Amino acid sequence: MTDALLLETRDDTTAAWWRQAAVYQIYPRSFADANGDGLGDIPGIVSRADYLQELGIDAVWLSPFYPSALADGGYDVADYRDVDPRLGTLDDFDDMVAALHDRGIRVVVDIVPNHSSDLHEWFQEALAAGRGSAARERYIFREGSGPDGSEPPTDWTAAFGGSAWERVEDGQWFLHSFAPEQPDLNWDHPEVREDFLTTLRFWSDRGVDGFRIDVAHMLTKDLSEPLPSTAELELLPHDGNHPLHDRDDVHEVYAEWRRVFNEYDPPRTAVAEAWVSTPERRAKYASAEGLGQAFNFDLLVADFDATQFRTIISDNLAQARTTGSSTTWVLSNHDVTRHATRYGLAPLAGRTGVKQGVEWVAAGGPGDQLDRELGLRRAHAATLLLLGLPGSTYLYQGEELGLQEVAEIGPDERQDPAFFRGAEFDGLGRDGCRVPLPWTASGSSFGFGAGDAHLPQPEWFAEHAVDVEESDPSSTLSLYREALRLRRELQTDESLEWIETGRADVLRFARPNGWQIVTNFGTEPFDLGTDAADVVLGTVVDGAVSGDSTVWIAPGLLG
């Protein structure tokens, strides 16, 4: 790392603010509901701006708030340059940006370029214009197979289950990698490319600081005939030439986007959601000529296990050094079972973290398989470890309250298309981590809003309400606030040094300013000796770090 970079990363007023930011993900429809219609909204976010400031985060990332029929929780965007009227107006959006900026919080918005909603004007135009029309060229329309074209063009399955092709009235089929209400856009089309540049400028001009790019690895496709079958696709390597995933030519799109980002001062940032086969493939998304940063989901799919954590941390830091980007850490988001629940489940042989959660949700959330206390303890330990690492950490709304996954949602109350279409990858769906937040222990929808929340909140949410946790120094919220406050002192340059502990289940590392993080993944206490006197975060019992917990040590800070 060069000296210039070292200096930059210490000063968060520079263009490098994102390198070690703590970014808090807001799922807008479930954060705070100002108008009492049961859906969270933009004025709701403004009303909680002080809460976000007190939490101590550097930026918020908003999941989609655009006009949408909610076929996929807003990831079906009908208009990329507007706010869903149920969530507010563009003026409300501007007020929100101002309120957050006033509090030193940056704003990142979600861009969904692989597919639009079927209600997008382009798709409606394509349907009306008919086969062979220029309007259909913006999407991926094909004739069906079989004698009368009544079979889909290929046997490909969509991520949410079922065929990846849907037939329209005149008999043609269109491709949808996700729900049928999410037709894939044709990224070979110049108008599609141009329009997204307009969208990026539109939000950048409104003061947005950065973008999160949805399924960034899927935009470009090679759909030359004959189209391969699923079996044929499975045999193809993911080397940049796969017809559907992680193609090298997608980076031409992001190089163009980077030029737009760099028109601004400071340059707008971007982080890719790219589920790709290797860290090397991921690095391409994180390059400075491209999006600049990419999500690293390795810990999210890992178990609560010292060896796995250490390998993942070392590999990703090494990877970040080669790209010049900073690494990212994620334990929870709107797509996966909350980590406080994953970590409390009895280990199922051969399953990784996320899959374990999926199994449990699919089984109806059996209480006897979940040790809530253990899950929460481990969640604290893992989060404190993450917050002590170099790089940026993405936190998901509600984890700062220690929320567990909500399994108690009836079939008729569920919203996730993955539930209705039976997608294997997430079983019963993702609604359980998207339940509206509890702000107060009593009152309508636990203070979320004056109406009934759009997803049912369980009784146990009362224990996790913000007003309860705020007044309890031992709550998860108090711990997050303290950790995020201390993190500002801890973050120096982006490196760490492992310190051997003599225990396979205890990790210890030092940051360049001498601060140390110790995580005990085991059950036997780990003795700290005289360092116990310098613990500034986490609990020491008889001079030792207990099992399933993390402490931060800051030599000399306590005087």
From first CA to last CA, the distance across the chain in angstroms is: 32
Q: What are phi and psi of 386, to 5 degrees?
A: -60, -45
Per CB under 6 A, 93 contacts ligand GLC: no
Extract the runs of DSSP E, i.e. beta strands, from 245-309: 269-272, 292-294
Least distance between ligand GLC and beta carbon 156 (Å): 16
- Enumerate residues 6+ apart whose C-beta is below 8 A from 262: none
Residue with smaller CB distance to ligand GLC, 286 or 418? 418
**C-alpha Rg value of the chain to the nearest Å:** 23
Least distance between ligand GLC and beta carbon 477 (Å): 25
Q: What are phi and psi of 60, to 5 degrees?
A: -115, 145
Residue with smaller CB distance to ligand GLC, 215 or 518? 215
β-strand partners of 173: 142, 167
Residue with smaller CB distance to ligand GLC, 27 or 360? 27
Q: What part of residues 445-484 is at the interface with ligand GLC (CB under 6 A)?
A: none
Residue with smaller CB distance to ligand GLC, 31 or 178? 178
3-class DSSP assignment, residue 231: helix
Residue with smaller CB distance to ligand GLC, 111 or 320? 111
Name the residue number minimizing CB distance to ligand GLC.
75
Among 108, 112, 340, 484, binds ligand GLC (CB under 6 A): 112
Per CB under 6 A, 285 contacts ligand GLC: no
| Long-range contacts (CB closer than 8 Å, 24 or more residues apart) made by 483-488 | 483/383, 483/384, 483/387, 483/537, 483/552, 484/22, 484/55, 484/56, 484/57, 484/387, 485/56, 486/536, 486/537, 486/552, 486/554, 487/22, 487/56, 487/387, 487/388, 488/56
- Assign residue 99 a region (left: φ > 0; alpha: ψ between -120 and 50; beta: otherwise): alpha
* Residue 43: its H or E element: helix 42-47
Residue with smaller CB distance to ligand GLC, 75 or 139? 75
In the shown chain, the binding pattern of residues 139 to 158 toward ligand GLC, with x for contact by CB under 6 A and - for none, equals: --------------------
Extract the runs of DSSP E, i.e. beta strands, from 274-355: 292-294, 328-330
Residue with smaller CB distance to ligand GLC, 56 or 432? 432
Least distance between ligand GLC and beta carbon 75 (Å): 3
Least distance between ligand GLC and beta carbon 112 (Å): 6
Least distance between ligand GLC and beta carbon 273 (Å): 6
Least distance between ligand GLC and beta carbon 66 (Å): 12
Give the sheet arrangement for strand 22-26, strand by strand: 292-294, 269-272, 210-213, 106-111, 59-62, 22-26, 392-396, 328-330
**Cα distance between residue 494 and residue 393, in whole Å:** 13
Q: What are phi and psi of 377, to 5 degrees?
A: -60, -45
**Cα distance between residue 114 and residue 135, in whole Å:** 17
Least distance between ligand GLC and beta carbon 435 (Å): 15
Per CB under 6 A, 215 contacts ligand GLC: yes
Angle at CA 30, nearest 5°, toward 28 and 33?
A: 85
Among 178, 196, 211, 461, binds ligand GLC (CB under 6 A): 178
Q: What part of residues 228-267 is at the interface with ligand GLC (CB under 6 A)?
A: none
- Enumerate residues 6+ apart whose C-beta is below 8 A from 205: none
Q: Give the strand pairing for 549-553 and 535-537.
A: antiparallel
3-class DSSP assignment, residue 499: coil
**214 among known catalytic residues:** yes
Least distance between ligand GLC and beta carbon 333 (Å): 7
Least distance between ligand GLC and beta carbon 217 (Å): 10
**Catalytic: which of 41, 214, 298, 335?**
214
Residue with tokens 């290797």: 278
Q: What part of residues 287-346 is at the interface with ligand GLC (CB under 6 A)?
A: 334-335
Residue with smaller CB distance to ligand GLC, 141 or 394? 394
**263 among known catalytic residues:** yes
User: What does each C-alpha distance from 533 to 389, 435, 486, 551, 554 come to in angstroms?
Assistant: 22, 41, 17, 12, 9
Residue with smaller CB distance to ligand GLC, 17 or 178? 178
In the shown chain, the binding pattern of residues 55 to 84 toward ligand GLC, with x for contact by CB under 6 A and - for none, equals: -----------------x--x---------
Site size with ligand GLC, rule: CB under 6 A: 9
Among 214, 298, 399, 493, binds ligand GLC (CB under 6 A): 214
* Residue 536: its H or E element: strand 535-537
**Catalytic: which of 91, 232, 263, 373?**
263
Contacting positions for ligand GLC (CB under 6 A):
72, 75, 112, 178, 214-215, 273, 334-335
The catalytic site residues sit at: 214, 263
